[in-house]
């Protein structure tokens, strides 16, 4: 394996030596020792183009400067990243790029997270020798339903073209015209409608490609960014949730080579957080009085739910968990069902869309935690696809039902069955057909409002953090004090002082009812619940929030079925 020395400080001349595999490029070798070489066209998830020339470095014994993205290392190579020759070359490259680039940073959505801005500040010449008027190119061009293109800002790095060719496998974009008139366009008769089209926005190092929905909504420095998990399907893509005034404005992908690499599908990016911002959010516990649902306080609702459950025998009551909810929520629900209610009538609904999946990210299972719910015990003894609970309700054997964080009235038949129940208690994020039939409703926290873990279809356990604050944080200030794990405090800065919702995590709601029924379910935080899961469920043995970190960890091998193992090997 060749050894290469990366010299970052031109004054001391001292470098960092690293041993790398044959074929490694200079830019990757430098990244291994924590040295970033400026670049525009290079991206670790795409092929090498070498057309921006921003990554020029000086290599000893080579007569000319070399581009770090395409030059492979050799044993004994010494690379000077910031030599005088390399810095002068970068200044010239930036001056060339800025000849026709518009000075519209104050209105550009990319401002604050723009590579061209950053490099111009750190490496730019500070002046231009060109006095001619800038070229005029197409502006505000809709390339598809979700992406807008501004050709004047484009630096022709070709990242978007390569992504559509190599990752999305749907060649849609290309260079048109030539010379100083060149810009990017779709092939004749085509639109950028691929399910992964919006990844080109993240790839764009400048503000040429922008999100049609997010345009002009906020400046990046006005928002907080929190690490979370996309709940749109069983892949569990890693995301950053961007919030201003306590409202989610956008989701962007977060790199995790074990799950989604650098990408996310458009549906997850746009729709997986709709329910968090929904106008239909339930903001207070409700009890049915005289035939109508009326808002009440938490203590009254919890006491009413506990009293209402007491008359029913263990065979007359059932609970439905949720593959949308976290491991912690489902674990507490099954513990409540088995130890407090004494019932084995427990299950969850499957939400699979047959055929709606691909070989990149999208899965037919549209829930983030079906495997996690099953592993912690939220499944009937028969483990059938269609919950047997509805059959028992129809026959009159089940008279009371507890539903957690799911819309179960998906058909008219199920709606009619729910209407037959003597008692229906529902934890829900939003108003739905199920809540309209409920006797007691508890407003529950969404994935963006609580700590929680989710297990994707490959058996990877991942931690999602709260991005939106709630009244619960004010009620129990220490509950979110986990500074060793993340910086949730950023969500409470001066830009995020919007209204807080009166919601609680489902594990907390269910624990409170369990305690009123004589149980001992006293947990101080979701982390404490997960610690118990790690102790009592063999598949989670040895795991903790700290060990999950930013990229998660795998369940023990025995928890993952043969089919899932085969899928993992193929991937």
The candidate with the shortest Cα–Cα distance to 241, out of 405, 479, 454, 465, is: 465
DSSP states of 33-45 as a string? TT-PPP-SS--TT
Left, alpha or beta for 396 (phi > 0: left; psi -120 to 50: alpha)?
Answer: left
State how far the alpha carbon of 110 is from the alpha carbons of 117, 211, 484, in Å.
Answer: 9, 10, 31
Query: Distance from CA of residue 205 to its chain's centroid?
Result: 21
Q: Hey, what are 129's tokens? A: 């020798």
Angle at 177 between CA 175 and CA 179, to 5 degrees: 100
Closest CA to 530 of 231, 374, 327, 369: 327
pLDDT at 571: 40
Q: Predicted confidence band at 494 (pLDDT cuts at 50, 70, 90)?
A: very low
At 170-193, the pLDDT tens digits run 999 999 998 889 999 999 999 999
When pLDDT is cut at 50, 70 and 90, the band that residue 485 belongs to is very low
**Cα R_g (the chain), whole angstroms:** 27
What angle (nearest 5°) sits at the alpha carbon of residue 54, between those of residues 51 and 57? Answer: 110
| Residue 252, CA distances (Å) to 203, 264, 362, 404 in order | 11, 8, 16, 28
pLDDT of residue 299: 95
Residues 6+ apart with CB under 8 A from 126: none
Contact 200, 194 (CB under 8 A): no
Please say if the pLDDT value at position 483 is more than 50. no
Neighbours of 173 (CB within 10 A): 25
Collapsed DSSP state (helix, strand, coil) of residue 133? coil
Q: Is the pLDDT of residue 491 over 60?
A: no
Q: What are phi and psi of 524, to 5 degrees?
A: -85, -20
More confident residue, 13 or 48: 48
Name residue, tokens 């023990």: 556
Asked whether residue 52 carries a pLDDT value surpassing 90, the answer given is yes
Which of 518, 516, 547 lies closest to 531, judged by CA? 547
> What domains can you pick out in the chain, each with its CATH number?
3-97 (3.10.20.740), 105-113+131-277 (3.30.70.20), 286-449+503-544 (3.40.50.740)
User: Can you tell me the distance from the alpha carbon of 564 to that of 31, in angstroms, rounded to the nearest whole number?
Assistant: 33
Judge whether 444 and 429 are in contact, CB under 8 Å: yes
Give the pair of three-digit tokens for residue 345.
Answer: 């009538």
Q: 111-159: per-residue pLDDT in tens?
A: 999 999 999 999 988 888 888 888 899 999 999 999 999 999 999 999 9
Q: Residue 31 has which token pair?
A: 């990244």
Most confident of 242-246, 441-445, 472-476: 441-445
**Displacement of CA 396 from its chain's centroid (Å):** 42
- The least confident of 119-133, 300-314, 330-344 is 119-133
Paired tokens of 434: 């199920």
pLDDT of residue 500: 86
SS3 of residue 188 by DSSP? coil
Q: Which pLDDT score is estimated for 480? A: 55
Please tell me the distance from the alpha carbon of residue 50 to that of residue 118, in angstroms, as a whole number.
Answer: 20
What ranges make up the beta strands (E) of 407-451? 423-428, 440-443
Q: Helices then strands (H, E): number in the chain?
A: 18, 23
Closest CA relative to residue 326, chosen from 259, 289, 277, 378 = 378
Share of the chain above pLDDT 90, in %: 82
- Please give the helix or strand (H or E) that residue 330 lies within, else none: helix 327-335
Provide the H-helix boundaries in 5-65: 26-32
Buried-state track 235-251, b at ≥16 Cβ within 10 A, e below 16: bbbbbbbbbbebbbbbb
- Neighbour-count burial for 319-336, b at 16+ CB within 10 Å, e otherwise: bbbbbbbbbbbbbbbbbb
- Averaged pLDDT for residues 361-367: 96
Tokens of 430: 């939003």
Residue 247 pLDDT: 93
Q: Measuring CA to CA, which residue among 398, 314, 317, 386 is closest to residue 348?
A: 386
In the β-sheet with 3-7, what is the strand arrangement from edge to edge? 15-19, 3-7, 77-80, 56-59, 66-67
C-beta separation of 114 from 40 below 8 A: no
Average pLDDT of the segment spanning 37-59: 95
Mean pLDDT, rounded, for 197-220:
95
Return d(Cα 203, Cα 150) in angstroms, integer.
Answer: 15
In angstroms, the Cα distances linking 23 to 1, 78, 155 are 10, 16, 28
Rounded CA-CA distance 496/490 in Å is 9
Question: What tokens were used for 264?
Answer: 């996310």
Alpha carbon distance 478, 451 (integer Å): 13
Mean pLDDT of the residues in the chain: 91
Q: What's the Cα-to-Cα distance from 570 to each of 237, 317, 552, rounded to whole Å?
A: 18, 43, 21
């Amino acid at each position: 394996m060749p050894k290469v020395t990366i010299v970052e400080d031109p004054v001391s001349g001292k470098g960092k030596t690293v041993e790398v595999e044959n074929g490694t490029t200079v830019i990757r070798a430098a990244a291994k020792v924590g040295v970033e070489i400026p670049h525009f066209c290079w991206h670790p998830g795409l092929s090498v183009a070498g057309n921006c020339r921003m990554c020029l470095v000086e290599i000893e014994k080579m007569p000319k400067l070399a581009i770090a993205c395409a030059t492979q290392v050799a044993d004994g190579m010494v690379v000077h990243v910031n030599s005088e020759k390399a810095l002068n070359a970068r200044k010239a490259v930036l001056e060339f790029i800025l000849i026709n680039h518009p000075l519209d940073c104050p209105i550009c959505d990319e401002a604050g997270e723009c590579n061209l801005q950053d490099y111009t500040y750190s490496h730019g010449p500070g002046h231009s020798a060109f006095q001619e008027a800038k070229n005029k190119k197409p502006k505000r061009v809709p390339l598809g339903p979700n992406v807008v293109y501004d050709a004047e800002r484009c630096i022709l790095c070709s990242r978007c073209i390569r992504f559509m060719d190599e990752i999305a496998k749907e060649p849609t974009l290309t260079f048109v015209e030539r010379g100083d008139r060149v810009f990017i366009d779709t092939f004749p008769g085509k639109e950028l409608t691929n399910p992964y089209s919006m990844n080109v926005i993240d790839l764009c190092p400048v503000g040429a490609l922008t999100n049609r929905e997010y345009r002009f909504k906020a400046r990046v420095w006005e928002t907080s960014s929190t690490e979370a998990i996309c709940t749109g399907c069983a892949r569990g893509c890693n995301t950053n949730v961007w919030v201003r005034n306590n409202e989610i404005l956008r989701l962007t992908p977060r790199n995790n080579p074990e799950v989604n690499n650098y990408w996310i599908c458009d549906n997850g990016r746009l729709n997986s957080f709709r329910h968090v911002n929904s106008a239909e959010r339930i903001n207070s516990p409700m009890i049915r009085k005289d035939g109508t649902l009326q808002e009440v306080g938490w203590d009254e609702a919890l006491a009413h739910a506990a009293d209402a459950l007491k008359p029913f025998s263990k065979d007359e009551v059932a609970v439905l968990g949720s593959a949308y909810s976290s491991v912690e929520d489902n674990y507490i629900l099954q513990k409540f069902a088995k130890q407090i209610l004494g019932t084995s009538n427990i299950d969850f609904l499957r939400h699979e869309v047959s055929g709606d999946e691909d070989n990149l990210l999208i899965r037919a299972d549209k829930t983030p935690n079906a495997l996690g719910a099953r592993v912690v015990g939220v499944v009937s003894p028969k483990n059938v696809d269609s919950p047997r609970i509805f059959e028992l309700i129809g026959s009159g054997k089940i008279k009371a039902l507890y539903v957690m964080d799911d819309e179960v009235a998906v058909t008219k038949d199920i709606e009619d069955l729910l209407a037959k129940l003597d008692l229906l208690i529902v934890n829900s994020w939003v108003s739905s057909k199920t809540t309209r039939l409920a006797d007691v409703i508890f407003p529950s926290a969404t994935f963006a409002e609580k700590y929680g873990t989710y297990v994707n279809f490959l058996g990877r356990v991942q931690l999602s953090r709260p991005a939106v604050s709630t009244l619960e944080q004010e009620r129990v200030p220490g509950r979110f004090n986990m500074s060793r794990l993340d910086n949730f405090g950023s969500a409470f800065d001066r830009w995020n002082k919007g209204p807080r919702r009166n919601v609680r995590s489902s594990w907390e709601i269910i624990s409170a009812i369990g305690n009123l029924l004589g149980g001992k379910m006293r947990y101080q935080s979701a982390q404490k619940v997960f610690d118990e899961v790690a102790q009592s469920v063999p598949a989670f043995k040895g795991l903790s929030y700290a060990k999950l970190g930013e990229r998660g960890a795998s369940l023990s091998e025995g928890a993952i079925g043969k089919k899932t193992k085969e899928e993992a090997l193929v991937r």
